[in-house]
Amino acid sequence: MSKIVKLLYIIIGFISLGLGVLGLILPVLPTTPLLLLASYCFVKGSERFEICFKGTTLYKRHLETFVKERSMTLKQKLTILLFADVMIAIPFFILDSLMVRVMLAAVILYKYYYFIYKIKTVRKATTEI
């Protein structure tokens, strides 16, 4: 992978990390998916940043359980699902294309299926900080 592509991953990782941290304060931004994106970008961009990010309490508190056990709390699931629904609803109501609406409805249905049946729900995160 070229240095430019790795640099782009690192930049996107830091932007996602910043937005994820803002999501801790602002209820409008979902923390977990943004931190997952940051983690993915750091893995692709730099081993040093990946190790540094995975050593933070932010990662351990919000992502470690999901990454290791494929589980989330009900609150995490609902936050992600509702935020995604709002984002999908915008083009759903703005656009007049039936094909786009059907596609967006299929995405919503699959998203709920995945979160209900593929990701285990736990009472609270098992990682102690």
* pLDDT per position as a tens digit, 32-67: 888 889 999 999 999 998 899 889 888 888 788 888
Residue 75 lies in a domain: yes
How does residue 23 score in pLDDT terms, banded at 50, 70 and 90?
Answer: confident
Burial-class residue 10 by CB neighbours within 10 Å (0-12, 13-18, 19+): middle
Structural domain containing residue 60: 3-122
Q: Any idea which of 15-29, 31-45, 109-123 has the lowest mean pLDDT?
A: 15-29
Specify the pTM. Answer: 0.63
Higher pLDDT, 28 or 58: 58
Give residue 84's pLDDT. Answer: 83
Any idea what DSSP says for residue 6?
H
Looking at the structure of the chain, the number of domains it has is 1
With respect to residue 128, please indicate whether it lies within any of the assigned structural domains: no
pLDDT at 108 > cutoff 70:
yes
Number of H helices, E strands in the chain: 7, 2
Q: Which range among 7-16, 58-67, 89-98, 107-116 shows the weakest confidence by mean pLDDT?
A: 58-67
